[in-house]
Amino acid sequence: MDSFIVISVVKAVVVFGALLTALAYLQWVERKVIAHIQVRPGPYRVGPHGLLQPVADIVKLITKEDLSPPFVNKTLYLAAPFLAMTLALMSICVIPFGPAIRVGGVQTWMQLTDLNIGVLFVLAVSSIGVYGIALAGWSSNNKYALLGSLRSSAQMISYELPLSLAIASPLLLSNTLSLRLLVDSQAGGAWRWNALRGPFPQIFAFVIFLIAAFAECNRVPFDLPEAENELVAGFHTEYSSMKFASFFMSEYANMITVSCMATLLFLGGWDAPWPARYGSSLVPTVLLAGAGLMALYHGIHPWRRRDRYSLPAAGAVFLLAAAVFLLPAVQSWLMPLFWFGAKVGSILFAFMWVRGTLPRLRYDQLMGFAWKYLFPAAMLNLLLTGFLVAWGS
Amino acid sequence: MDVVIFLIFAIIAVACAINVVVQTHPISSAISLVGVMGSLAVIYLLLGAEFIAAAQVIVYAGAIMVLFVFVIMLLNAGAEATKGRAPMAHLLGPPLLAAFLGILAFVVRRLFPREYTAHFGGFTHGTAKDVGRALFTTYLLPFEAASVLILIAIIGAVVLARKEMD
Amino acid sequence: MPDSTFLDSTELVLNMGPQHPSTHGVLRVILKLDGEKVMGTSCVIGYLHRGVEKIAENRTWAQFNPYVDRMDYVAAVSNGLGYCLAVEKLLGVEAPPRAQAVRVILTELNRIASHLVWLGTHALDIGAITPVFYCFREREEALNIFEKYCGARLTTHAFRIGGLLYETYDGFEREVKAFCKMFPPKVDEYEELLTNNRIWAGRLKNVGVLTADECKEYGVTGPVLRAAGVKWDLRKAQPYSGYEKYDFEIPTRENGDTYDRYIVRMREMRQAVRIIEQAVEGMPEGPIMGKVPKVIKPPVGEAYVSIEAPKGELGYYVVSDGSVQPYRVRVRPPSFVNLQALDRMVRGGLVADVVAVIGTLDIVLGEVDR
């Protein structure tokens, strides 16, 4: 019992520390990705290549004056950001990042807790996540904010249905609601992942899930609740300082959660795309070594004077990381983490890529799309999957 | 441990339920109702009904109450005036309520014998699989009847909305 | 704006602006909303009113020339051209052919720059955050040419009454030709991002429809009018500055919705490149200044000149009492006139459509308020 509590506390600290760091740096990555799409360098001043920008942002947001306008509904106005933040961070509790590991003679799972209704837990938390936004907009007593929260409520309800239906189809294949068992059922290579496995690959469900997830996270092209060009800042118009930052972070936390969910449900979690005996364990080493050599090359032939030291240093770090991946002692737990991170990262990159590319839908189009196309498609997919699963058994 | 958690959430549920009635602003009442739903979900979880707990949160707190809040916000309903209650209600309300609750408690205790009281952790058939099996075998008829009822309700809603549009 | 509609209880009056990300300046639009549906609008303008027309009466004819740049600052060169042409008409002089060719090149470059600002901000309004950077990248090239020519990038004061002050710089022709070669592929790039994008088309098609008759009713001109199917372009209808020498088309569309206005402006940019190419190919040698006295004192009389500015018909009505100062200068700004159609275009639409329509009207508040 005691060791259970100790392990749980340690795991919680590690997971939330990693999550919060990831949140801060996800913003940096997003700003860099969008900037490069838009032919500009992005954050560049604070630290090498703006790497310390998240730190500067956090300091700025914490030290900013914490305004709360006199006309707001005080209780709900203060509660909304905490609600949004708490609910956004909560889902991470049930997300498994890798298989069981042994640390100092103790065997434990790379997961805070495994619920046998893990999928439903994530759905439940995300379905009440809308209250943060809805209450923020309403309690601000601001018309733009109210319109923003009206939009978000309607949007969340509409997109929850295709989202749930898209989740249901791979569940039929895997026959479990526990996220860890879900991954176990897909082990063995890319052709066993739910997105690709026969007899009926869930690639449609995967696409539907991603589209609905974009809407659930209020991301472009479904970012209507905070459509800057229409509603100024939408539901968080009246928020400043850390209260604003809470909404900002909850949006990114939601992005990470849905990316993890997509990975676990459709892409086999931490499972490598092909077995290690055919060299999948060499992939991170090759990628990192390639990146390191490229950085070294550009450090020797720098475009800018100041890159003469920073790029070789980055190259050395990459090469070191490449070497670490070769150590058999760490491979057993580092490889699953790498594949999990790579899959989640690719989906997060898609989020950013889409944001740099697409315009925003209009409110009625958004609703029409959810009910006329996404929902029937998800339903059809679920029916077909159910039929095939029943046929097979 | 279980009893402590039960007591905490039971008190929260009751407090929220009272708050639903006491609050004058519809949004505050709706939020309190969400609190009731959430506490009930935790109590379901304590009793071992995991699937019901999740469904409670997803359906009631996550969908129905969001719709409530949405409609309240859309209509921009303000706080209702507290005055205008009959003096009779003030006088007779509390005793009547107490009497009603007393009768309820008495009936419940009478109807269910002592061995029927709930034991935390004693019930293990609350998983999705068990609920699904029960729904599609033992309770198939009520389940189908309910789904037909919901279908009728959906069609009715569509028809009514259509009429409004024309 | 209608005082009340049938749904009074759920009506919301929303103040959009003067501080709002997509009113393109200090426009204030009061919206009456039912949910998100727009029941009526009313515009409040004048936040940027500087009394430009009154200032003219206290400056000499030449002194007023830089002021017109501050009206439509996105298309300053066109403003300057209109004013110079009006005063030249009053004086009875004409700019020499070389000056006219340079004027055409710079004005068309400015048309491209103006349309690029429109495209970038319009796309931003619709929610596409990337095109604005591409647009400004190419606009930069045009502005560099302005800067090298006259030292200023935005409010250029490029032309003088009677012709030009500066001869073109070394390499002007080469750089303009390079721009003409570089630019059309970039337009293809923008179109690739937007034209066939389902979301883009969905947001713009059948939004803010203004038919040809309605355009004429409101006096709406420019790309808005041409998108409604009226082939009316002052460069063809009453050519000035030697536009009759150049071969170009007037792009038109039929539906008069926001998408058509987008297509028309995109094609106009390509046509502008065509005009610039012809003008720079056949640029005559010779003087750049007409026979204008040192002190400009136009004879008593009045003149009206209108040109095709990027946003529509830009007219200058100038009256002289024979002194060194104008007696009256009246500007017919395209933005102001086009803005009148806003209510007709957005009523019955959604809030998002208001933003799209303000973007598609391509207004500059400096010009609306003057």
B166 pLDDT band (50/70/90 cuts)? low
Q: Which pLDDT score is estimated for B145?
A: 93
Mean pLDDT of chain B: 82
Q: Which pLDDT score is estimated for A181?
A: 81
Q: Calculate the alpha carbon distances from A346 to A20, A174, A188, A262, A302 in Å.
A: 19, 23, 21, 11, 29
Residue A297 and residue C130: Cα distance in Å, rounded?
31
Across the interface, whether the CB atoms of C12 and B74 are under 8 A apart is answered no
Question: Is the CB of residue C4 less than 8 Å away from at least one CB of chain B?
Answer: no
Residue B41 and residue B65: Cα distance in Å, rounded?
14
Please report which helix (H) or strand (E) contains residue A266, including its range. helix A241-266
Classified as helix, coil or strand, A34 is helix
Residue C119 and residue A65: Cα distance in Å, rounded?
37
Cα angle at A179 between A173 and A183, to 5 degrees? 60
- What is the number of other CB atoms lying within 10 angstroms of the CB of residue A13? 10
**CB B149, CB A141: distance < 8 Å:** no
ipTM surpassing 0.95, yes or no? no
Residue A126 and residue B89: Cα distance in Å, rounded?
42
**Selected residue of B70, B72, B76 to mutate for chain C interface (largest C Cβ count, 10 A):** B76
Residue A211 and residue C331: Cα distance in Å, rounded?
51
Question: Residues 104 to 143 of C: which have CB under 8 A from any A CB?
Answer: 123-130, 133-134, 137
Q: pLDDT tens digits for C17-49?
A: 788 877 777 888 888 887 778 888 888 888 888
* pTM: predicted TM-score of the whole model, two decimal places: 0.84
Please report which helix (H) or strand (E) contains residue A107, including its range. strand A106-110
**CB C239, CB C365: distance < 8 Å:** no
- Judging contacts by C-beta atoms under 8 Å, the chain A residues touching residue B50 are 115-117, 120
Q: Is the N-terminal amide bond of C251 cis, ω within 30° of 0?
A: no
**CB A257, CB A92: distance < 8 Å:** yes
Mean pLDDT of chain C: 86
- What is the number of other CB atoms lying within 10 angstroms of the CB of residue C294? 5
Residue A107 and residue C351: Cα distance in Å, rounded?
57
Residue with tokens 């095939």: A388
Classified as helix, coil or strand, C347 is coil
* All structural domains of chain A with their residue ranges: 2-38+52-271+327-392
Buried b (16+ CB within 10 A) or exposed e, B33-53: bbbbbbbbbbbbbbbbbbbbb
Token code pair at residue A238: 């009246």
Token code pair at residue A328: 């058999």
* All structural domains of chain C with their residue ranges: 51-364
C116 pLDDT band (50/70/90 cuts)? very high
% of residues, chain A, pLDDT over 70 = 96
Query: Quick check: B105 pLDDT over 80?
Result: yes
Task: Search chain C and give the residue with CA nearest B75.
Answer: C10
Question: Could you tell me which residues come within 8 angstroms of residue A384 by beta carbon, excluding any fewer than 6 positions away?
Answer: A200
Residue A134 and residue A139: Cα distance in Å, rounded?
9
Assign domain B1-78+117-123 one CATH number from 3.40.50.2300, 1.10.3720.10, 1.20.120.1200, 3.40.50.300: 1.20.120.1200
Superfamily of domain C51-364 in the CATH hierarchy: Cytochrome-c3 Hydrogenase, chain B (1.10.645.10)
Q: Which of B34, B70, B76 sits opposite A153 (nearest CB)?
A: B70
Return the amino acid letter for A271: D
Across the interface, whether the CB atoms of B51 and A149 are under 8 A apart is answered no
* All structural domains of chain B with their residue ranges: 1-78+117-123, 127-166
Across the interface, whether the CB atoms of B74 and C9 are under 8 A apart is answered no
Q: pLDDT tens digits for A170-214?
A: 888 887 788 888 888 887 777 778 777 767 778 888 899 999 988
Per the document, the length of chain B is 166
Question: Is the CB of residue C10 less than 8 Å away from at least one CB of chain B?
Answer: yes
- Judging contacts by C-beta atoms under 8 Å, the chain C residues touching residue B74 are 10, 35
The minimum CA-CA distance between B87 and chain A, rounded to whole Å, is 31
Average pLDDT over residues C58-84: 88
- What is the number of other CB atoms lying within 10 angstroms of the CB of residue A257? 26
Classified as helix, coil or strand, C221 is coil
Q: Which pLDDT score is estimated for C317?
A: 92
Return the amino acid letter for B50: E
Q: Which of A117, A137, A138 sits opposite B54 (nearest CB)?
A: A117
